[in-house]
Structure 1
Amino acid sequence: SEAKLIAEQSVTAPISRVCPDNLAYAIYTSGSTGLPKGTLLAHRGLCSLISTQIAHFQINSNSRLLQTLSISGDASLWEIFAALLSGAALYLADKEQTLPGQELIDLLNKNQITVLCPAIRALSAVPEGEIPSLETILAGGETCPPELVARWAKNHNLYNCYGPTEATVCTTYFKCDVNMSRTPPIGKPFANAKVYILDKYLQAVPIGVVGEMYISGIALARGYLNRAELTAEKFIPDPFSQTPSQRMYRTGDLAKYLVDGNIQFLGRADHQIKIRGFRIELDEIEEIIFTHPDVTEAVVIAEEVTPGDKQILAYAVANTLVKESSLVDELRSLLKLKLPPFMIPSEIIVLDVFPRLLSGKVDRRSLPIPTSFSHEVSSLPITGTEKAIASIWKDLLKKEAIDRNDDFFDLGGHSMLMVELASQLKSVLKVNVGLRSLFESSSLTKMASAIDEVLAKNSNKSDVDDATKGVNVDKRFFEEAAKSLTKIEHREILPLFISGEIAKVDAVAIDYLPITFLSDTSLSREQLFSTWFNNKPIISEIREGSLGRLATIMLPRFDLELHANKDSLIKLLVEGLEIAKQIGAKVVSLTGLIPSATNYGQALVDEIKDRELPAITTGHAVTTASVIMSIEKILKESGRDIRKERVIFLGLGSIGLTTLRLMLKCLPSPESITLCDIYSKVAMLKELKAQMKEQWGFENEVNIVESSKILPQEIYNGSLIIGATNVENLIEVSKLKAGTMIVDDSAPHCFDTNLALKRFNQQSDILFTEGGTLESPKAMTRTIYLPSQASELIDISLLRAMIRMNPSEIPSSNFSS
């Protein structure tokens, strides 16, 4: 047995002869002579990098890392060893899941990833969406644009990282400030590394003066495998070091020191570039083109043909007798044999002569840059699907025409563009094709066939869909609607308010759509907001009862998008306030996640300063009161006494903190209270504990649970859990003890409601309720206003759900206005 075999082994620790200077790994990077360079790295540098960065970025056993980078690149070593050596969790996924897209966001949220290490290019292609668990982003590989900082540094710790393979993955870092308007610097070196900026005489340049970067320290590579001459050229003695054997690496990168000591990266001193995170030496491509017998001159450049999308362009001068089109095809075939796909030029341009400078050198700035790329087309797209795909390709790839036998990648496509292609296919053809399928069918004809298969499967359901789309096909819907206190009207009502045909309202709640709403329509996000909302806030409903008239103004935003662009959200909210004023509202409530996305309304207040617009409430006071009422109700329904309950507060932001204070003021003291907040530090919770004892008069036991993305067992020892967090499915329903009660005001819910319902139906041993919903003591009516075309766009089941809702039940944040 295994136990017997293990017992036979020695209990003496093995003697290891591994030392820090032993080789840890060899990794190949692009070379300027047409041959990749095998770079040799020792254990010493990798150990220094990982131990330093684990401490600096606070990677620990509660951290969760997603490996997004290929193991063929050295940056993947950071992801792997930072997790393994800190006790963190390392999540592996299919390549398709880690490409920028909604699937990646879903993956990050599902696994509550806390640390991400994407290439800059990949990060810029990730669609907007909220990732509340994500704390730290370590981005690098190419220049970080300011707009990327503005988007990601708002809710996450974004670091701009720099480092060549020859210095063990990463050398410098800079924590980005969301308010930066310029390209962020690459920062300062990590421990055990030094960066010099020197002139051609290896003398240090003054602050603000451009020079070449040299790196020194224990993380330098041994050199290049079997390339002694190149090693001697790139790794030279460090004249500033007191250690005789210390070397420094010549990076070939230009930079300057800023007055604050940070380093600003300025590009390459040679023709090496980075595209989509790949280090490419353009000389290497030129040399291969030169090997063609009919080419007399060749130049390769990298140019942003469209903003943010750098393309490789190759230029050749050939013998006069050579046909241009055949030469281009031969050169492309030659390059494919010698180079990886990411190094193939997007366009090969044959010129009669190259433009020259007075010195006789090629004037690279005067080379013609195509605004679109043309190539010979012999067979045009035939089917409707082929034509639709070709139209999208032309726009993405900047091609004047597409041949039906063309391949997406042969025309300059890459993985980032493939993500955009999938998005546009969903928008134009109403088809959701997986990235894996698109990668496997990259020619136009194969892609069209794959999409036609999906469309054919969908069409099999068309009869069912026709029967369930549109209110005009379902008589039962009208019968049910006639008896409901909720009515649905198809018209725009703002003009009727202005003309006086509809009575003014007393208050307004500004709301947004759940992302799940998309699945109930036949529209894409862009179509929904443009055709339905006209990209502006709309009046979506009016409730009326003894307390007055309350309108809801809906923003053209989904819940997952609220934190993505603060300026855009504020602009929409101001438009909503202007509509609220037009329809008579005196007070406007900001509902759900809008307060947290606007600094609890303060950002909006600052924006409308000195303007005569309705007053604003975040609704937190009413929400907190409703949570306390829900606690009272669940205790009453279960016949339990709060004085015997072990209460857990999960989430101690604005709502959680105020609920705690109000509970201690209005209800008897529970047996114990445990405080847990995944965002708060222990020091804050300790201060709160002291405040509960000294100021709020709580004399019983108070426990503190340290912040964690995975809840510890102490949480599941509670008998009453009060949720007020924004982390979805934080509680594992299967771990709840019998008799546990949950009052949840989290958005989204902090536990899986489907699993909770399943357990309740099977075992009836847990009880849970919404924390923030109120019911009017007197009946209210509700009128929902939809565009005239909505009946053809919304699933009948959604309309039926709307009329079945009790209009007297109202979210507390809406009610507060």
Structure 2
Amino acid sequence: MASPHQTDDRVRQPGSSGTPVPELVARFARTHPDRAAVHSGGHRVGYRALDAWAGRIAARLATAGAGRGTRVAVLAEPSTAMVAAALGVLRAGAAYVPLDQAQPDGRIAAVLADARVTAAVATGETAARLAGSGLPVIRADEAAEGAEIPLPPIQVTAEDPAYLIYTSGSTGEPKGVLVEHGQLAASTEARHAVYPGAPVFLLVSPLAFDSSVAGLWGTLTAGGSVVVARPDEVRDPERLLELIERHGVTRMLCVPSLYRVLLDAAARLGGCGASTLDTVIVAGEPLPQALVDRHFAAHAGTVALVNEYGPTEATVWASYRRFDAPGPVSIGGPVPGARLYVLDDRRQPVPDGTQGELYIGGRGVARGYFGRPDATAAVFVEDPFAGSEGARMYRTGDIVRRTADGLLEFLGRRDHQVKIRGHRVELGAVEAALRTVPGIDDAVVVAAGDPPALTAFVLASAAVDPGAVRAELATRLPAAAVPGRVQPLERLPQTVTGKIDRHALQAMAETAPGNPVPAATAGDTVGEVAAAWAEVLELPEVPAEVNFFDLGGHSLTMFQLQEALERRTGIRPSVVQLFRHTTVSEQAALIRDTGAQDGRSRTDARQAAARRANAVRARRQRVGGGAGK
């Protein structure tokens, strides 16, 4: 029988110091006041300036009634102001509740109501969306300058809430995971043990995505610098590579699918664009073996690759596998202080090599779901293996297997929860939303492909327009939860017991033949663009005036569209241009205008790529990057 748990005791128990994150940041404001804390959009903020900025926000929040035990919403675009806003809420003793700008207004209103926030912090670009909330709204950008405001020390305890991040519940209602200061301190100290030093960290995650916790607080409590990528930079991999070079980024964390796109861009630039990195962390999606092999082919073994695993309920991460050379994929072993159990249906340990459900114990286990005691009790359960009274463990719903060398292999989900582009999606929530669409009687949603995408199989009492269905869902669900494909069926397959046969639907989604790509005549720019769309979106035909995203496109398929357009037209629009021109007719006009201006052919496009590579090499030499890795 395997040991009932697996733990990492190489360092002292994380969180034992009890030092809250804002106090650790404040120490660097005193000891290294001029060191760069945050870069974003051409702006640089030092530690003392960041701490003072957060103090001014905290003072305004205190006037608005925020303090220990309260919750404050934060709606801010990725920027230096976003970082100051989150730190300001913590300085006020409150818990920050990050809101996702990409969510529809109805979803944001639901989160505000569920979290019962006292106030909100916003910036000039986002404040208007909170105008009807009835909340006091503090403008983070307006607090950027001004006299330092002395605040009485606010002593938070390990049990005080630090942040509240929302995931999708099985009913489609928002469900907030409440993380306390003790759990945040434990997770952060574990990060310092695994990743020593003061990094220059590239943050590509929005504040509402829990990997931002790793980037922000893991870096600022170590005296490092956070480089916050703006949305237009995240959408363009070549600009992300330029950002890495310009700021000398040493560490980054992203989903595997985005990292694949970055490697594609680096290959187009002749292997340039990431010479300063020493560690790439991937999380949020299963790591493909091919990506591990490709990482080391691109970096020649000089850059570590780390596969992190962990749910929001375990404060960002619970296990990790560090690769210094190619090797078999796993989610590794526990982070310092975590306990990992592989248990059967009776919550008893299973032998090594046998699959079971993963349970997580240790000080990183969150308090639970805010305002949902029944949901909390269902998955935050007593830990009988910890040897201490009151210890709890979190039931992940993930099926794993421990190998002979003690590493964990991720095998899939126990339920119907999946990760789409790094976002957790409850298939039941999507199905429930589909059943409310007029004309749809029943629906089953599956995830298929690599990277995974959602396919909705529906029973309809009338003709169904897939585009209209997707548009309706987009008003109520997060973008990652909107199926890219809606497939009407005459009946849903059933098992011998009369239940919906999800395995059959999964096979249908995975083996569906690709649609033939329409041909275009020579010189027909609209036809070439439409053919590129049809290829990327796997659609038989594409309307000229429909938005790319309404047909199932997303930020990662936009990169594929960029490649397809270059192959078909000889013109390679930037990703930013494609995000601004989102119909076939607009992109055709863009390509015609570009071609008329510089007459680029496919050969010219390759020459332009070479010029970009030379520019990156020159910039790397200026910052002392040396030869490419």
Q: Structure 1 residues 437 and 727 mapped into 2: Cα distance closer, same or farther (>3 Å)? A: closer
CA drift at 1:443: 1.8
Q: Structure 1 residues 342 and 381 mapped into 2: Cα distance closer, same or farther (>3 Å)? A: farther
Pick one of 367, 391, 405 that aligns with 1:222: 367
The match for 1:171 is 318
1:92-126 CA-partner distances (Å, limit 9, x unpaired): 23222234622222221222211011111111121
1:65-89 CA-partner distances (Å, limit 9, x unpaired): 1111111211112111122111112
The match for 1:35 is 173
1:301-331 CA-partner distances (Å, limit 9, x unpaired): 1111xxx232211112233xx2x235x4553
| Structure 1 residue 125 corresponds to structure 2 residue 261 | yes
Pick one of 405, 414, 435 that aligns with 1:260: 405
Q: Structure 1 residues 124 and 51 mapped into 2: Cα distance closer, same or farther (>3 Å)? A: same
Q: Is the 8 A contact 1:100 1:122 kept in 2?
A: no
Q: Structure 1 residues 144 and 9 mapped into 2: Cα distance closer, same or farther (>3 Å)? A: closer
Hey, which bits of structure 1, 4+ residues long, moved more than 6 A?
8-11, 380-383, 525-528, 558-561
CA drift at 1:345: 1.1
Q: Name the SS for the 2:469 alignment partner.
A: helix
Q: Which has the higher contact order (CA 8 A, sep 6+)?
A: 2
Q: Is the 8 A contact 1:374 1:401 kept in 2?
A: no
- 1:476-625, aligned counterparts within 5 Å? 522-524=604-606
Q: Is the 8 A contact 1:426 1:524 kept in 2?
A: no
> Aligned partners of 1:410, 1:395: CA distance in 2, in Å?
16
Q: Is the 8 A contact 1:65 1:79 kept in 2?
A: yes
Q: Name the SS for the 1:34 alignment partner.
A: coil
Whichever residue aligns with residue 81 of structure 1, its letter is W
- 1:39-54, aligned counterparts within 5 Å? 39-54=177-192
> Aligned partners of 1:115, 1:32: CA distance in 2, in Å?
35
Q: Is the 8 A contact 1:100 1:123 kept in 2?
A: no
Q: Percent identity?
A: 31
> Aligned partners of 1:9, 1:35: CA distance in 2, in Å?
41
Whichever residue aligns with residue 582 of structure 2, its letter is S
1:758-816 CA-partner distances (Å, limit 9, x unpaired): xxxxxxxxxxxxxxxxxxxxxxxxxxxxxxxxxxxxxxxxxxxxxxxxxxxxxxxxxxx
Pick one of 317, 321, 333 that aligns with 2:459: 317
The match for 1:424 is 564
Q: Is the 8 A contact 1:114 1:136 kept in 2?
A: yes
| Structure 1 residue 352 corresponds to structure 2 residue 497 | no
CA drift at 1:200: 0.7
| Structure 1 residue 251 corresponds to structure 2 residue 387 | no
Whichever residue aligns with residue 318 of structure 2, its letter is T
Q: Structure 1 residues 237 and 388 mapped into 2: Cα distance closer, same or farther (>3 Å)? A: same
Structure 2 length-normalised TM: 0.68
Pick one of 233, 246, 265 that aligns with 1:97: 233
Q: Structure 1 residues 53 and 431 mapped into 2: Cα distance closer, same or farther (>3 Å)? A: same
Q: Is the 8 A contact 2:162 2:179 kept in 1?
A: yes
The match for 1:289 is 434
Q: Name the SS for the 2:223 alignment partner.
A: coil
State the number of aligned residues: 465
Pick one of 142, 146, 168 that aligns with 2:289: 146
CA drift at 1:726: 12
> Aligned partners of 1:373, 1:233: CA distance in 2, in Å?
44
| Structure 1 residue 135 corresponds to structure 2 residue 278 | yes
Q: Structure 1 residues 290 and 90 mapped into 2: Cα distance closer, same or farther (>3 Å)? A: same
Q: Is the 8 A contact 1:381 1:403 kept in 2?
A: no
Q: Is the 8 A contact 2:170 2:426 kept in 1?
A: yes
> Aligned partners of 1:302, 1:728: CA distance in 2, in Å?
44
> Aligned partners of 2:148, 2:546: CA distance in 1, in Å?
61
Q: Name the SS for the 1:243 alignment partner.
A: coil
Q: Name the SS for the 1:86 alignment partner.
A: coil
The match for 1:361 is 499
Q: Name the SS for the 2:549 alignment partner.
A: coil
> Aligned partners of 1:268, 1:26: CA distance in 2, in Å?
24
Pick one of 376, 383, 387 that aligns with 1:238: 383
Structure 1 length-normalised TM: 0.53
CA drift at 1:525: 7.1
Q: Structure 1 residues 383 and 325 mapped into 2: Cα distance closer, same or farther (>3 Å)? A: farther
> Aligned partners of 1:456, 1:254: CA distance in 2, in Å?
56
> Aligned partners of 1:747, 1:160: CA distance in 2, in Å?
26
Q: Structure 1 residues 86 and 399 mapped into 2: Cα distance closer, same or farther (>3 Å)? A: same
The match for 1:85 is 221
1:429-457 CA-partner distances (Å, limit 9, x unpaired): 34342322211221222222333333343
Structure with bigger gyration radius: 1
Pick one of 286, 295, 304 that aligns with 1:157: 304
CA drift at 1:170: 0.9
> Aligned partners of 1:727, 1:524: CA distance in 2, in Å?
21
| Structure 1 residue 402 corresponds to structure 2 residue 538 | no
The match for 2:414 is 269
> Aligned partners of 1:389, 1:155: CA distance in 2, in Å?
40
Q: Name the SS for the 1:524 alignment partner.
A: helix
RMSD: 3.3
Pick one of 506, 513, 532 that aligns with 1:371: 513
Q: Name the SS for the 1:317 alignment partner.
A: strand
Q: Structure 1 residues 100 and 211 mapped into 2: Cα distance closer, same or farther (>3 Å)? A: farther
The match for 1:782 is none
